[in-house]
Amino acid sequence: MRVESDKRVLVIDSHKSSSDVPANNLHWQNARLIADNLNADLIWSYPTVNDEIKSGYDAIVFVHASHYAYTDYAWVDASPSARLFYVTNEYNLGEPRTLWMAAKNGRRYTVIANHPAEISKVVKKYVDDWVIVNLNTLVFGQYRHTLKGAGCVYYGSYRDNRASYFKKYLSHVPLSTHVKNIPKFTSLGVFPMVTPRLDIQRGDLAKYSHSLYIEDTVTHDNYNFLANRFYEALNSDVVCLFDRSCERTVRLSSYPIVDDLFVDSGKDVLDRVASKVQWGADVLGTAAQERDDVIRSLRKIVLGDYPDWLLPQ
């Protein structure tokens, strides 16, 4: 059930593009979903974005962060009474440039994150409140592919705190990454079969049957919910194979993940793929309910007028 609000909301995404057409990257898609559910205006860094600054917003929501965004500070300055929010699901990101300017000018804001404040780069002295919700689930259902592919893939950029897992698996599992990342992987003594970067929303992930799920060592002890790649796999009819080190995260998520989906070696991955191991119970239904709960929570946090009886308990 959708409840409309009379509050005016602006959503500002960090995406930088040459035009104001919809983008494919994940945080832009999340910003679009948030804007739609808040009945909000959405802007990002396209060339004409600052040609007509609007005022009178009750809330301004920043999604993701970039030091290179060129949405003008005038958008914030024109609504001096607006409550400010920062939506972030990356613990290694600081504040958006425009929001940082607002903070230095005395404005305070609420962080909406999928991780605890203790591990974030956000400067806490400007933060009024830190609200934790599962932002990663927002990608669920934004697209759907059912190609019934074969094999297992790992995709993503290089991260130092995943190095031990790269060494463990990437001699057995194809790697999809940007070409500039390859020297970082080979410096570990790992020489994987590299495939082009996946366009997941167009169905490239669905060309595989399984996807390798590993996480940062920081995440082992600081719960961040299940990552975007889990929900991207569900959208692509792909089954995740979780490194055993992710077991705490999986159990805290309360998703019905069967033990056969945990692996501890490259051989385990190959064996699970060969046996065509599948999801257990109703993982898709759980994800749909979780996404709807998060959307209701975002409306309550930003608008403050969503009926309590409609919020997740």
**14, 71: one domain:** yes
Residue 189 shares a structural domain with residue 73: no
| Pair (216, 249) in one structural domain | yes
- State whether 169 and 253 are in the same domain: yes
CATH, residue 299: 3.40.50
In the sheet that holds 127-132, the strands lie side by side as: 41-45, 9-16, 59-63, 83-88, 109-113, 127-132
Q: Which residues pair with 13 in a beta bridge?
A: 63
Q: Which of 222, 252, 15 is nearest to 120 (CA)?
A: 222
Residue 150 one-letter amino acid: A
Q: Indicate whether 137 belongs to any domain.
A: no
One domain, residues 185 and 127:
no
Q: What is the pTM of this model?
A: 0.91
Q: How far apart are CA 106 and CA 189, in angstroms?
A: 49
Structural domain boundaries, residue 221:
152-281
> Do 54 and 29 reside in the same domain of the chain?
yes
Residue 174 and residue 270 in one domain: yes
CB 75 within 8 A of CB 10: yes
How many structural domains does the chain have? Answer: 2
269 with 209, same domain: the answer is yes
212 in any annotated domain: yes
139 in any annotated domain: no
Q: Answer yes or no: do 277 and 301 share one domain.
A: no
DSSP 61: E
Residue 230 is assigned to a structural domain of this protein: yes
Domain containing residue 255: CATH number: 3.40.50.2000
**Does 28 fall in a domain?**
yes
Please tell me the distance from the alpha carbon of residue 233 to that of residue 262, in angstroms, as a whole number.
Answer: 15
**Residue 259: in which H helix or E strand, if any?**
none
One digit per residue, pLDDT tens: the chain, 313 residues?
A: 455 678 999 999 999 998 888 888 888 999 999 999 999 999 999 999 999 999 999 999 999 988 788 899 999 999 999 999 999 999 989 999 999 999 999 999 999 999 999 999 999 999 999 999 999 999 999 999 998 899 999 999 999 999 999 999 999 999 999 999 999 999 999 999 999 999 999 999 999 999 999 999 999 999 999 999 999 999 999 999 999 999 999 999 999 999 999 999 999 999 999 999 999 778 999 999 999 999 999 999 999 854 554 444 4
| 125 within domain boundaries | yes
Identify whether 142 is part of a domain.
Answer: no
- Sorted by sequence, the CB contacts under 8 Å of residue 209 that are 6+ apart come out as 148, 149, 150, 151, 152, 238, 239, 273, 276
Indicate whether 213 and 124 sit together in one domain.
no
Query: Are 65 and 178 found together in one domain?
Result: no
Q: Are 26 and 49 in contact (CB under 8 A)?
A: no
Q: Is residue 3 part of a domain?
A: no
> Do 277 and 156 share a structural domain?
yes
